[in-house]
Amino acid sequence: MTLPLAAPPSSAPIADGPELIDLHPALADMERLVIEGLSHHPRQLPAWFLYDAEGSQLFDRICEQPEYSLTRNETKLLEERAGDMAQALGQGFDKQPVLVEFGAGNLRKVGPLLKTLQPAAYVALDISADHLIPACRALQARHPDVPVLGVCCDYANIDQLPPHPLLEGRPLVGFYPGSSLGNFDRPQARDLLAHFAELLGHGSRLLIGIDQPRQPARLEAAYDDAAGVSAAFAFNLLRRLNRELAGNFDPAGFRYQAQWEPTGSRIAMALVSRQNQMVDLAGRRWSFAAGEPLITEYSVKYTPEAFLALAAEAGWGPLGRWSDGADDLSLHLLTHGKMHDHAQDCNHVNPILQPSQP
């Protein structure tokens, strides 16, 4: 899964603030991924392509839509239960761990954990540097005692965390909220969980947010909100491709669609071609048939049991689970290591093994 880096990493302090290391995939890598994705049937691009500066802002607006409850519910759960979560996340290490957040976005969820865990440092990984820089600066101002480091990267495709004095000799624990695991198909999701274990190290712990299946109508509305923000988020992908990879997509030639697919337990989001058409992109000419979808992303929903089975395939075992009142989503605490270690640990955090009550 590793992308060769076409450009050396650059690192710079964010004016009077935390440092940012830039490992964004190079244009040549993006071009290769576009050619691979459009040659695939159905056509599909990596979900991280959606997150340029504009896309990241649109995603933040999706999180505010009444139909999209995931962010609100998860944030509330974190605010209410961060003390228990931090206690279990940081348990058993001889030094204060560093907290590493994957796909950190606007950094608005981690605050309660920083307060309760008091990590030695906090590392935020996100694909959009434009979004990460102001978010890191604001977070550092709110939490002056925790050193903050931003890393702009495709976290699924880095070989290791960048060597940095803040991480040296420290245990690492992971935080992956927002159910972004669902934006990878199952084999990729399993590989990603295994990859997190490699990045964090043996014996590490991971707190991960997972959205669960519920009535299809609710899910379809969450991914196709009445205000049209989800659709705008998808259409922004075409604008990005036109701008960065010499494309000539005409957005009017496509319509947005979000459909629940029961067999995959997932929402499929797509831009569907309204007619037969040709599009130039990445130095090639692509034909789209009328009705043909370009999948912009999937969002797989896992029951707690299905998620834990997937995590086990990647060597992660359960330590605890917290859920929102409606049991629409869970924050799972996992540990990577031998199964009997998990059983012991579970005894320590037994009270949190059941969903929390509203």
User: Residues in the site for ligand AVI, rule: CB under 6 A?
Assistant: 62, 70, 178-180, 182-183, 223, 230, 233, 297, 299
150/178 with CB nearer ligand AVI: 178
- Shortest spacing between CB 321 and ligand AVI, in angstroms: 18
- Shortest spacing between CB 19 and ligand AVI, in angstroms: 25
Comparing every residue's Cβ against ligand AVI, the nearest one is 299
58/158 with CB nearer ligand AVI: 58
Contact 285, 279 (CB under 8 A): yes
- How far is Cα 162 from Cα 165, in angstroms, rounded to an integer? 10
- Shortest spacing between CB 307 and ligand AVI, in angstroms: 14
Integer-rounded Cα radius of gyration of the chain? 20
Per the listing, tokens 């459009």 go with 38
Strand order in the sheet with 329-336: 10-13, 19-22, 148-152, 121-126, 98-102, 172-176, 205-211, 329-336, 316-323
- The token pair at 355 is 């969903």
- Shortest spacing between CB 230 and ligand AVI, in angstroms: 5
Three-state DSSP class for 214? Answer: coil
22/297 with CB nearer ligand AVI: 297
286/298 with CB nearer ligand AVI: 298
- Shortest spacing between CB 267 and ligand AVI, in angstroms: 7
38/270 with CB nearer ligand AVI: 270
- Shortest spacing between CB 298 and ligand AVI, in angstroms: 8
Contact 79, 86 (CB under 8 A): no
Q: Could you tell me which residues come within 8 angstroms of residue 113 by beta carbon, excluding any fewer than 6 positions away?
A: 78, 82, 85, 86, 89, 99, 175, 207
70/308 with CB nearer ligand AVI: 70
- How far is Cα 276 from Cα 253, in angstroms, rounded to an integer? 9
